[in-house]
C-alpha cells in the first residue's frame, strides 16, 4: 500500500469553503446548446445528424470515429441549427453541433437494468462506450479504452480519484455527500470487469465528512476501501495518485494498467452508474461556479453543452469587479475572455477571481534557488528545463528528463522570481513530441517505399 | 457581455515568495553575527559594514545607469553582497579597500557576468580573495576583541595559534570574543541566523551538513592530531568555516541546484577546506575552498541530474 502522499507538491489557498456546503441545484438550458466534437482525447466524433434535423434528449448526434474516440448525445430536444466551427472554453474553434433548444426536453426512454450483476463484461463495456463516457476529471480520455487493458486479470487496483486537489472546485465533494451510494454502485460495476482487483476511493484528508461517510457505507464491503490522502496539490495527478495509493511509480511511457491500476475520476464513476444501471447516456454533469467574483457560488447539475453565461446567471452573476475568468482550476485551467462558450463533458468549474495576480507580476531573473526542484512532483529541475526550452536545446532538455513533466504547474506557482517555467516546458515538450511523431511518420513512409 | 477578460497561461495563482523577500531573510539572518561583530570590535567595524554595503549598492546602481539597464538594486541582493563582504573583512581594514572590494564584487564578479543569478563565483568571496592577494598585510592583520584582557591591538587568530601547535579556549571561540574578521568569530550568533534561514526554508541542510561533516572527518583522519575531538571542534569554531558553510556555500547561483549535487558540493568543500588548512600556507582556507568549488558546479550538476518520478524505482 502507499503512504497517501508523494514527494513535492504545493499548498495553495483552496477556496472550497465558498461552495462546498451549497447543495446541487439542477439548471436546464434556456438558449441554444452547443456540442463540441473534440471534447475527448482521440479522433473527433463524426456528426450523424444534419442541419434541420429534429433531435430528442439522449439521441446520438455524433458517433465515435474509431476506438479511441467518443459518442456525443443531445442533452436537449430541438432542431439542429448548424454544424460549424465554434469557440470552446480552451480558446480554440472546433467543429461543433448547434441545437436550437425547444425547451421541451422531450426525451428518449432510457432502459434501466434490474440487476447489473447479470450483465456480462462485454455488455458493461458496450454500455459504457455507447454512453459516450470520457474521463470527467478534465483530461477526457475515453473511459471504455481505459477499461479494456491488454490483460484485465492483471489489474489489481481500480482507483476512484476523489482527491479534488485543484483549489475552489467542489464537484467530487458534492457527489460524495449527495450520491455516495451511486458512486459505490459505479465502482462495483467496474470491479465486475476486473476479477482480481480491489476498489479504492482515494480522498484527501481535507474532506473528513466524505471519508467518514464512505467508510461507513463500505464497512461491509471486502473488495472496496477508502485510502486517505494528504491534502496537497497535485494529489489528483494520475501518476502521483497511483504512487500515493499503491506505492508504485510509473513514468511517462507507461500506462497505469502496466502496474495493474485503473484510475478514474469520481464523476466518471457516477456516469458509469448512470449508463450501466439506468441506461442513461452522458448528457449531464456537476459544475461548480465559484470565486470571489461570483455573487452566489453554487454547484449545478447541468446539461452538457449549456452556455456558461447561463451558469453565471444562475449563480447571480458577477459581484465586485472580477479581473479573471477561468474554465477549470487556477492551477491547470484555461483563462477565458468571456462566458459565451459552451460547457463540455470535461468542464468542472467556472471560476471568477477578483484579482488577476498574473498581470501584476513581472518575472525577474532566476536566482537558482531550487524551489522548483523542491516542489516538482516528477523529480525534475524545472528552472534548468525552462532555460533549455528558451534556447531550444532539445537534446539537453531530454537528457534532463523534460518529457517526464506532468504540467502540474507547481514550479511556476512556487517560483520567487515569477518565471513562467511550466509554460516554457509545455511548449518545448510539444515541440519535441511533434518532431518525434513527424520523424516516426517519415520512417514509416520510407519503410513502406522499400 | 461586453467586458473581455485578460488571458494568461496556467497557473493563474502564485505563492507569496519573492526574490526580494528571500534576500531580506538572509539580511535578517546575518544580523546577529553582524551585531556581535560590531560589539566585539567596536566602532570601526560598524563603519566598515556601513561603507561596504553602501558602496556595493552604489556600484550596482552606477553599473545599471552607465550600461542603461533596468535598475535592480531594489532586489536587495547588493545589500547582501556588501554585508557578506564586510563580515569577511578584518575590522581595521582601511575604508577605501572595503569600497574597492564592494565595487569588485558587484561589477566584476556579478554584473559583468550577467547580474543576479548568472555569476559563477560568490561575489563577496571573490572580492575577499581579490583583496587578500592585493593587500595581504592589512587583510591578515586581525584586531583583538574588545573583551581581550591583554593590551595587544592585534594578534594571531585562534586558528593561527592552533597551526603553531598551541591550544586555544574553545568556549571563547563559541561565544566569539576572539580576533578575526568582523562576522566570523561568534559561532553561536552564526548558528542563530542559520537556524532562522533553515526554518524559513531559504536554505536546506544538504550543503552545510555535508560540508561540515566531511571537514571534521578530514581533520580527524589527516589533521595530524589523531582522533582528537577537541582539536576538531576548535577547527570547526575557528576561522570562517561556520559563516562560509551556512551563508556562502549555500549561495544559490554558485551552488548546484540538484539535490544530490548539493551533497557532492558540500563534501568537496569540506575536503578542500581541510586540505588548505592542514597543508596550506595559511591557517584559513574556507574562501578558497568555496571559490574553487564554485568553479566545479556546472560539472557537478551534469553528473547529478536527478532521477525522475517512476524511473529507478519499480519498473
Tell me, yes or no, if B313 comes closer than 8 A to chain A by beta carbon: yes
Between these two residues, A35 and B8, which has the higher pLDDT value? A35
Q: Give strand ranges (E) for A107-253.
A: 157-162, 198-204, 224-229
Q: Which residues of A touch B122 (CB under 8 A)?
A: none
- Residue A422 inside a domain? The answer is yes
Report, as an integer, the average pLDDT of B147-155. Answer: 73
Number of domains in chain B: 2
Last residue of a domain, one of A286, A321, A356: A356
Q: Do B307 and A379 touch (CB under 8 A)?
A: yes
Domain boundary among A305, A325, A356: A356
The answer, yes or no, to whether residue B151 has pLDDT greater than 80, is no
* Interchain contact, A422 vs B11, CB within 8 Å: yes
User: Where residue A267 sits, what CATH number does that domain have?
Assistant: 3.40.50.11540
**Residue A101 within any structural domain of the chain:** no
**Cross-strand bridge partners of residue A82:** A98
Instruction: Please compute the mean of the pLDDT values over residues B83-89 and round it to a whole number.
Output: 95
Helix (H, G, I), strand (E, B) or coil at A152: helix
**3-state SS track over chain B:** CCCCCCCCCCCCCCCCCCHHHHHHHHHHHHHHHHHHHHHHHCHHHHHHHHHHHHHHHHHHHHHHHHCCCCCCHHHCHHHHHHHHHHHCCCCCCCHHHHHHHHHHHHHHHHHHHCCCCCCCCCHHHHHHHHHHHHCHHHHCCCECCCCCCCCCCECCCHHHHHHCCCCCCHHHHHHCCCCCCCCCCCHHHHHHHHHHHHHCCCCCCHHHHHHHHHHHHHHHHHCCCCCCHHHHHHHHHCCCHHHHHHHHCCCCCCCCCCHHHHHHHHHHHHHHHHHHHHHCCCCCCHHHHHHHHHHCHHHHHHHCCCCCCCCCCCC
**Would residue B201 count as lying in a domain?**
yes
Question: C-alpha angle with apex B213: B210 to B215, nearest 5 degrees?
Answer: 105
Ranking A269-273, B141-145, B239-243 by mean pLDDT, the lowest is B141-145
Q: Do B116 and B46 reside in the same domain of the chain?
A: yes
| Residue of A211, A218, A201, A212 whose CA lies nearest to A159 | A201
- DSSP assignment, residue A276? H
Contact B8 A365 (CB under 8 A): no
Residues A326 and A256 reside in one and the same domain:
yes
- The answer as to whether B312 is a domain residue is no
Question: Same domain for B127 and B208?
Answer: no
- Is A51 a member of any domain? no
Question: What angle in degrees, to the nearest 10, is found between the helix axes of B19-41 and B187-199?
Answer: 170
A329 within 8 A of A350, measured Cβ to Cβ: no
- Both A126 and A252 in one domain: the answer is yes
Q: Cβ of A336 under 8 Å from any chain B Cβ? A: yes
Domain containing A412 equals 371-449
Query: CA separation (Å) from B237 to B188, B208, B279?
Result: 10, 14, 19
Residues A304, A273, single domain; the answer is: yes
What length does chain A have? 450
Query: Are residues A219 and A303 both part of a single domain?
Result: yes
Whether residues B213 and B279 fall in one domain: yes
Split at pLDDT 50, 70, 90, the class of B2 is: low
Mutation test of the interface with chain B: which of A88, A353, A413, choosing the one with the most B Cβ atoms within 10 A? A413
Q: E strand or H helix at A96, and its extent? A: strand A93-101
B126 and B160 co-located in one domain: no
Tell me if A303 is assigned to some domain: yes
Tell me which residue has cell 537556524: B195
Q: How far apart are CA B266 and CA B209, in angstroms?
A: 7
A10, A373, A377 ranked by CB distance to B15: nearest: A10
Whether A75 maps to a domain, the answer reads no
The CA distances from residue A424 to A126, A336, B271, in Å, are 41, 20, 39
Q: A334 to chain B: which residues are within 8 Å by CB?
A: 7, 10
Shared-domain flag, residues A332 and A403: no
Q: Mark whether B125 and B183 lie in a shared domain.
A: no
Nearest Cα to Cα of residue A16 among A242, A407, A244, A329: A329
Q: Do A381 and B305 touch (CB under 8 A)?
A: yes
Q: Best mutation site among B202, B249, B310, B312 for testing chain A: the one with the most A CBs within 10 Å?
A: B310
All residues of chain B having their beta carbon less than 8 Å from the beta carbon of residue A349 are: none
pLDDT score of B230: 84
Cβ atoms of residues B245 and B298 within 8 Å? no
Q: Is residue B132 part of a domain?
A: yes
Q: Which of B260, B294, B308 to mutate to test the interface with A (most CBs of A within 10 A)?
A: B308
Co-location of A272 and A164 in the same domain:
yes
Give the residue from B108, B138, B168 where a domain finishes: B138
CB A6 within 8 A of CB A202: no
Local confidence band at B235 (pLDDT 50, 70, 90 cut-offs) = confident
Q: Is the pLDDT of residue B164 over 90?
A: no
Shared domain check, A238 and A134: yes
* Burial class of B225 by CB neighbour count within 10 A (0 to 12, 13 to 18, 19+): middle
Q: Which of A304, A330, A356 is the C-terminal boundary of a domain? A: A356
- Which pLDDT band holds residue B314 (cuts at 50, 70, 90)? very low
Residues of A in contact with B309 (CB under 8 A): 6-7, 239-240, 243, 249, 251, 377-379, 404
State whether A331 and B13 contact (CB < 8 Å). yes
Contact A430, A407 (CB under 8 A): no
Contacts of A250 (CB under 8 A, 6+ apart): A239, A242, A256, A258, A259, B310
B115 contacts chain A (CB < 8 A):
yes
Q: Which of A247, A245, A265 is nearest to A190 (CA)?
A: A265
Residue of B7, B309, B314 with shortest CB distance to A337 = B7
Q: B257–A377: do the CB atoms touch at under 8 Å?
A: no
Question: Domain for residue B267, yes or no?
Answer: yes
Count Cβ atoms below 10 Å from residue A110 Cβ, excluding itself: 13
pLDDT band at B315; cut points 50, 70, 90: very low
Number of separate domains in chain A:
2
Residue B81 domain boundaries: 19-138
Question: What pLDDT is attached to residue B225?
Answer: 79
Judgement on whether residues B39 and B157 belong to the same structural domain of the protein: no
Residue-level pLDDT at B127? 95
Same domain, A243 and A184: yes
Q: How far is CA A24 from the centre of its chain?
A: 19
Q: What is the pLDDT of residue A1?
A: 67
> Which positions 162-221 of B are in contact with A (Cβ < 8 Å)?
none
Give the SS3 label for residue A117: helix
Do B12 and A333 count as a contact with CB atoms less than 8 A apart?
yes
Query: Residue B30: inside a domain, yes or no?
Result: yes
A349 has which bridge partners? A288
Instruction: Tell me, yes or no, whether A207 and A307 share the same domain.
Output: yes
| B119, closest residue in chain A (CA to CA) | A367
Q: Tens-of-pLDDT digits for all 450 residues of chain A?
A: 678 899 999 999 999 999 999 999 999 999 999 999 999 999 999 999 999 999 999 999 999 998 999 999 999 999 999 999 999 888 889 999 999 999 999 988 888 888 989 999 999 999 999 999 999 988 899 999 999 998 999 999 999 999 999 999 999 999 999 999 999 999 999 999 999 999 999 999 999 999 999 999 999 989 999 999 999 999 999 999 999 999 999 998 889 999 999 999 999 999 999 999 999 999 999 999 999 999 999 999 999 999 999 999 999 999 988 999 999 999 999 999 989 999 999 999 999 999 888 878 889 999 999 999 999 999 999 999 999 999 999 999 999 999 999 999 999 999 999 999 999 999 999 999 999 999 999 998 888 877
Stronger pLDDT, B310 or B313, i.e. the higher one: B310
pLDDT at B148 over 80: no
Burial class (CB in 10 A: 0-12, 13-18, 19+), A337: middle
Q: Do B252 and A400 touch (CB under 8 A)?
A: no
Domain-ending residue, one of B138, B167, B197: B138
Can you give the pTM of this predicted structure? 0.90
Asked if the structure places residue B89 within a domain, the reply is yes
Q: How far is it, in rounded angstroms, from Cα B250 to Cα A242?
A: 35
Q: Looking at chain B, which residue has its C-alpha nearest residue A259?
A: B315
Report yes or no on B13 lying in a domain.
no
Place of cell 549561495: B251
What is the number of alpha carbons within 13 Å of residue B58 lying toward its C-beta?
11
On whether both A345 and A375 belong to a single domain, the answer is no
For residue A413, which residues of chain B lie inside 8 Å, CB to CB? 11, 13-15
B309 lies in some domain: no
The reply to whether A395 falls in a domain is yes
Does the residue A47 lie in any domain?
no
Residue A109 located in a structural domain: no
Which of these three, B114, B138, B162, is where a domain ends? Answer: B138
| Residue A412 touches chain B, beta carbons under 8 Å | yes
Q: How confident is the model at residue B238 (pLDDT cuts 50, 70, 90)?
A: confident
Q: Say yes or no for a CB contact (<8 Å) between A416 and B22.
A: yes
Amino acid at each position: 500500500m502507499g503512504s497517501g502522499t508523494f514527494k513535492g507538491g504545493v499548498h495553495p489557498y483552496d477556496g472550497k469553503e465558498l461552495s462546498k456546503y451549497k447543495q446541487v441545484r439542477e439548471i436546464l438550458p434556456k438558449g441554444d446548446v452547443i456540442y463540441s466534437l473534440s471534447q475527448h482525447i482521440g479522433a473527433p466524433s463524426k456528426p450523424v445528424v444534419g442541419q434541420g434535423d429534429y433531435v430528442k434528449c439522449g439521441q446520438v448526434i455524433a458517433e465515435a470515429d474509431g476506438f479511441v474516440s467518443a459518442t456525443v448525445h443531445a442533452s436537449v430536444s430541438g432542431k439542429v441549427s448548424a454544424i460549424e466551427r465554434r469557440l470552446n472554453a480552451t480558446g480554440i474553434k472546433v467543429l461543433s453541433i448547434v441545437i436550437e433548444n425547444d425547451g421541451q426536453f422531450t426525451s428518449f426512454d432510457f432502459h434501466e437494468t434490474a440487476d447489473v450483476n447479470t450483465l456480462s463484461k462485454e455488455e458493461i463495456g458496450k454500455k459504457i462506450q455507447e454512453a459516450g463516457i470520457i474521463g470527467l476529471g478534465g483530461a477526457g480520455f475515453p473511459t471504455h479504452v481505459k477499461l479494456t487493458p491488454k490483460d484485465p486479470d492483471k489489474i489489481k487496483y481500480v482507483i476512484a480519484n476523489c482527491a479534488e486537489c485543484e483549489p475552489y472546485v467542489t464537484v467530487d465533494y458534492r457527489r460524495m455527500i449527495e450520491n455516495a451510494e451511486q458512486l459505490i454502485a459505479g465502482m462495483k460495476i467496474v470491479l465486475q470487469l476486473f476479477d482480481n482487483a480491489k476498489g479504492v476511493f482515494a480522498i484527501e484528508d481535507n474532506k473528513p465528512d466524505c471519508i467518514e461517510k464512505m467508510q461507513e457505507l463500505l464497512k461491509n464491503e471486502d473488495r472496496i476501501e477508502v485510502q486517505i490522502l494528504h491534502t496537497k496539490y497535485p494529489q489528483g495527478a494520475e501518476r502521483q495518485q497511483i504512487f500515493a495509493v499503491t506505492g508504485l511509480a510509473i513514468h511517462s511511457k507507461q500506462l497505469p494498467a502496466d502496474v495493474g491500476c485503473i484510475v478514474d475520476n469520481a464523476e466518471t464513476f457516477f456516469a458509469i452508474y448512470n449508463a450501466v444501471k439506468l441506461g442513461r447516456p452522458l448528457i449531464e454533469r456537476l459544475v461548480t461556479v465559484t470565486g470571489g467574483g461570483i455573487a452566489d457560488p453554487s454547484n449545478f447539475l447541468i446539461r452538457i453543452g449549456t452556455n456558461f453565461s447561463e451558469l453565471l446567471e444562475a449563480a447571480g452573476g458577477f459581484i465586485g469587479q472580477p479581473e479573471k475568468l477561468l474554465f477549470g482550476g487556477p492551477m491547470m485551467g484555461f483563462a477565458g475572455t468571456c462566458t459565451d462558450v459552451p460547457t463540455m463533458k470535461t468542464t468542472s468549474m467556472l471560476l471568477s477571481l477578483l484579482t488577476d495576480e498574473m498581470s501584476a507580476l513581472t518575472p525577474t531573473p532566476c536566482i537558482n534557488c531550487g524551489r522548483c526542484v523542491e516542489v516538482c512532483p516528477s523529480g525534475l529541475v524545472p528552472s534548468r528545463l525552462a532555460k533549455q526550452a528558451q534556447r531550444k536545446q532539445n537534446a539537453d532538455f531530454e537528457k534532463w528528463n523534460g518529457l517526464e513533466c506532468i504540467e502540474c504547474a507547481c514550479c511556476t506557482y512556487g517560483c520567487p522570481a515569477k518565471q513562467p517555467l511550466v509554460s516554457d516546458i509545455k511548449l518545448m515538450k510539444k515541440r519535441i513530441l511533434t518532431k518525434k511523431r513527424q520523424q516516426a511518420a517519415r520512417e514509416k513512409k520510407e519503410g513502406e517505399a522499400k | 457581455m461586453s467586458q473581455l477578460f485578460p488571458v494568461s497561461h496556467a497557473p493563474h495563482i502564485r505563492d507569496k515568495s519573492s526574490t526580494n523577500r528571500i534576500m531580506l531573510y538572509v539580511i535578517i539572518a546575518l544580523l546577529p553575527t553582524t551585531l556581535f561583530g560590531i560589539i566585539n570590535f567596536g566602532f570601526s567595524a560598524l563603519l566598515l559594514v556601513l561603507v561596504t554595503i553602501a558602496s556595493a549598492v552604489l556600484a550596482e546602481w552606477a553599473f545599471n545607469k552607465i550600461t542603461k539597464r533596468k535598475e535592480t538594486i531594489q532586489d536587495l541582493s547588493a545589500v547582501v553582497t556588501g554585508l557578506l563582504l564586510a563580515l569577511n573583512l578584518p575590522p581595521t581594514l582601511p575604508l577605501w579597500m572595503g569600497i574597492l572590494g564592494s565595487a569588485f564584487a558587484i561589477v566584476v564578479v556579478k554584473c559583468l557576468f550577467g547580474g543576479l543569478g548568472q555569476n559563477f563565483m560568490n561575489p563577496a568571496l571573490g572580492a575577499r580573495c581579490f583583496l587578500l592577494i592585493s593587500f595581504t598585510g592589512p587583510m591578515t592583520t586581525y584586531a583583538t576583541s574588545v573583551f581581550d584582557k591583554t593590551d595587544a591591538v592585534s594578534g594571531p587568530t585562534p586558528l593561527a595559534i592552533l597551526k603553531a601547535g598551541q591550544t586555544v579556549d574553545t568556549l571563547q571561540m563559541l561565544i566569539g570574543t576572539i580576533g578575526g574578521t568582523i562576522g566570523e568569530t561568534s559561532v553561536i550568533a552564526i548558528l542563530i541566523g542559520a537556524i532562522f534561514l533553515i526554518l524559513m526554508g531559504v536554505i536546506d541542510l544538504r550543503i552545510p551538513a555535508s560540508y561540515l561533516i566531511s571537514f571534521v572527518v578530514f581533520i580527524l583522519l589527516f589533521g595530524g592530531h589523531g582522533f582528537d575531538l577537541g582539536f576538531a571542534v576548535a577547527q570547526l569554531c575557528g576561522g570562517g568555516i561556520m559563516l562560509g558553510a551556512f551563508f556562502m556555500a549555500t549561495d544559490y547561483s554558485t551552488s548546484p541546484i540538484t539535490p544530490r549535487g548539493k551533497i557532492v558540493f558540500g563534501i568537496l568543500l569540506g575536503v578542500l577546506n581541510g586540505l588548505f588548512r592542514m597543508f596550506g600556507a595559511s591557517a584559513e582556507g574556507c574562501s578558497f575552498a568555496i571559490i574553487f568549488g564554485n568553479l566545479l558546479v556546472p560539472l557537478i550538476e551534469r553528473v547529478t541530474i536527478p532521477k525522475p518520478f517512476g524511473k529507478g524505482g519499480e519498473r
